[in-house]
Structure 1
């Protein structure tokens, strides 16, 4: 019973990371050209946040496939790892916003 709840939480985390990846990609793709000096740092911030979302999403997807192959005891540890990587992703995106948002 508890394992089904963990699987649902993992799927929710994966879907939110996928949505973050897609939105960051489109923000970086459709932002103003890099040739404009005023918007250069906005484009760099968008590309870096897309890269962070891509790496964290990739880690989550790899972990998701490994979770299904492991025993139930390790499921809770991997869920904590997924939540931790999601929180680290949010913190890194805020740091990028603070650093590049003031330029």
Structure 2
């Protein structure tokens, strides 16, 4: 990949063992090796957050949004909202709040040094 004129390029060497370690760590951080090396050189460490843990929150949030849209649609067409729809929405919101409390404390970074 060609560099822009304002970039400085340096050639550095690694032993096969060092390169293998860099490849493993960059793959774990889901970064290209060059990006991994640059960030490590500039910052001294990388924090990688596995956000798959948040998928339950995303599902809960999307469900609430979908139901809210349905309630708004019914209210706009008929001019009224049923009490059961509001109660269902409150239950989903409570589930979302509980899920948020459970997952936010478990998320911790993988630290690369």
TM-score (norm: length of structure 1) = 0.42
- Structure with the bigger percentage of helix: 1
- Structure with the bigger percentage of strand: 2
